[in-house]
Structure 1
Amino acid sequence: MTSARPASLPAARLLDTVLDRTVAPGYTRLGLAVRRRLPTWPADPAAGALAGRVAAVTGASSGLGIATAEQLARLGAEVRLVVRDTEKGEGVRRELAERVPGATFVVDRCDVGDLDDVRRAATDLAAALGDRPLDVLVHNAGAMPPERTTSAQGHELSMAVHVLGPVLLTDLLRERLAASERGARVVLVTSGGMYAQKLRADDPEFEQGDYSPTTAYARSKRAQVELAPVLAERWRPASVAVMHPGWADTPGVAESLPGFHKLTGRVLRDSDEGADTTTWLAATEPAPPTGLLWHDRRPRPTSLLPTTRTTDPDRARLWAWVRGATGL
């Protein structure tokens, strides 16, 4: 038995790669079920891995955000639910407190797409933490408006919510993240849909051509992935990861992609399955390599086609736009 396990590792790695490259069924709950049975599946975080730690989760009032908050709390973390609607957030807090007895959940208000509100929220959160560090920051908030919409500062909303707001919020909390004794973890939740789009550093605000909500969403997620190495360097010593959850059955998917949801509903991952890798990245020891894209607990390529590969000049151009838009 002990000699058979190492011999099976190459086959397991090959199967994992095939599942990843073929997308379906790799992104479904079937792909996750297969991977969990492979000898290459990493161990779960230890019980109590986040005891005494503080974690903040944006978009924590539905779907993957709620699942992530609950999983982090079950590992011992105090979880701050960063939400736009505090009334809804309080309802979630009460539900989570019943499901995870003894855990601490706190609601913080922040409209991640509004950079002025991000600055206010960062100040309030830092004050609430006092001398305590912020050990985990999960950027889960998402948006897919049906038509081109702009933020309070005039930025295309998908880019504002998925890129500008998360970058600014993290940058403003760098001192609290750097204070983490074990090394803070920053996780940005992206989407496998980004594989269909190349980086549009020449048009980050989607001002050219006919606007498509799914394309805008995927472009902003591509931007998250391509900025990961830059952000990892900027936010050291925190570990930075971008992960995509596969195809998960969330309220956002059901509302924004009803046709896709109807077609794939039976094989979509539930929220707990979709949040699994986020929680693993936040809690596993030692810290995972920084600046990479992850799916099902393994680093993945950022492009599957030559036409979507990003050049260093394009990445630098996008970063220059982000810095200008956020005032970093």
Structure 2
Amino acid sequence: MPLRTLANVLDSALDRTVVPGFSKIGYAVRRRLPTWPADPAPGSLAGRHVVVTGATSGLGTATARQLSALGAHVHLVVRNADKAADVARELPGPSTTWTCDLGDLDSVRACAAAMLADAPPLDAIVHNAGAMPAERTESPQGHELSMSIHVLGPVLLTDLLLPKLEGHEARVVLVTSGGMYAQALPVDDPDYTRGTYAPPTAYARSKRTQVELLDILTVRWARAGVAVYVMHPGWAATPGVTESLPTFDKVMGPVLRDADQGSDTTTWLVGAQPRPRGGGLWMDRRERPTAYFGRNAASSDERRRMWQWVADATGLTP
């Protein structure tokens, strides 16, 4: 078999076996294959403006640093401006900080209004803000907090900022999680009001929602010329994992990716030229299946119903 065909077979096998593929083993193997795409050119983001939410820790900080190293002016969208100042001092390039709580839709609207008034045209948004509350917590608008931070806030912020993205071949990246493979779209209970609340389940349900809304968001934001991606970082060692999943962190710690490895594909999606085809779930610079053997895949009707819920919750016209 040709070398590239063998590389694709090995890549797919790593995916199906989960632990090797999602860990640092998969990352190390894949980047040595002939199918690994080239890195963005040095300075490829010079003069570009990129928004990174959740930029004060973990994957968000690593993403901001990588994008800055490529020349981007990074806009840090954060809850804590003091923590953002610490991150900004370590960036090799310029940055601007915007205060926003992605879990509070009123805060999202206020941040969007400030950015529409004062920010320059934007070339990309990376939605990395995340949370896994230890118990069921509601946003100020009464929505389960994981769903609000991972779905409602990012969708609303991006939609409101479309005037800043339009005409720039802009890119939007939603950072998801491999946990979404284990959950179905919670179309009948998006706010997790039924059953016993489990933080990892709530987190994974919201991440499944990101993936299943991808096609709808791609069509919606295409009018502004925006390409949309969902990016799976693999299993990465971050403060959030250590705090929220201590057993997983202890057992899998030796093979977890570091933050830079987990953020690699996000940076590549933002910086690669030509712009990668939008509308897919990506990991290690390659588009991946959103479900295996059809397990937990949503129907078009379920996606439509979930989108209607999101539109109603955010006040957007579906």
Partner amino acid, structure 2, of 1:207: T
Equivalent residue for 1:245?
233
Q: What TM-score, normalized to structure 2?
A: 0.97
SS at match of 1:240: strand
For residues 204 and 192 of structure 2, the distance between their equivalents in structure 1, rounded to whole angstroms, comes to: 12
Equivalent residue for 1:159?
147
Map 1:1-328 onto structure 2 (within 5 A): 7-96=2-91, 100=92, 103-129=93-119, 132-180=120-168, 183-236=169-222, 237-328=225-316
For residues 213 and 45 of structure 2, the distance between their equivalents in structure 1, rounded to whole angstroms, comes to: 27
Partner amino acid, structure 1, of 2:310: V
1:299: how far off?
0.4
SS at match of 1:200: coil
For residues 194 and 108 of structure 1, the distance between their equivalents in structure 2, rounded to whole angstroms, comes to: 29
User: Is the CA contact 1:133–1:179 (under 8 Å) kept in the aligned structure 2?
Assistant: no
1:9: how far off?
0.8
| Structure 1 vs Structure 2 CA RMSD | 0.9
Q: Which runs of 5+ in 1 are unaligned?
A: 1-5
User: Is the CA contact 1:134–1:179 (under 8 Å) kept in the aligned structure 2?
Assistant: no
For residues 44 and 197 of structure 2, the distance between their equivalents in structure 1, rounded to whole angstroms, comes to: 44
Q: What TM-score, normalized to structure 1?
A: 0.94
1:307: how far off?
3.3
Matched positions, count: 314
For residues 25 and 7 of structure 1, the distance between their equivalents in structure 2, rounded to whole angstroms, comes to: 23
Percent of pairs with identical residues: 60
Name segments (4+ residues, structure 1) moved above 4 Å.
none
Deviates more, 1:39-48 or 1:114-123: 39-48
User: Is the CA contact 1:164–1:325 (under 8 Å) kept in the aligned structure 2?
Assistant: yes
- Residue deviations 1:126-145 (CA, integer Å, cap 9, x gap): 2222xx31001000000100
1:94: how far off?
1.4
User: Is the CA contact 1:58–1:138 (under 8 Å) kept in the aligned structure 2?
Assistant: yes
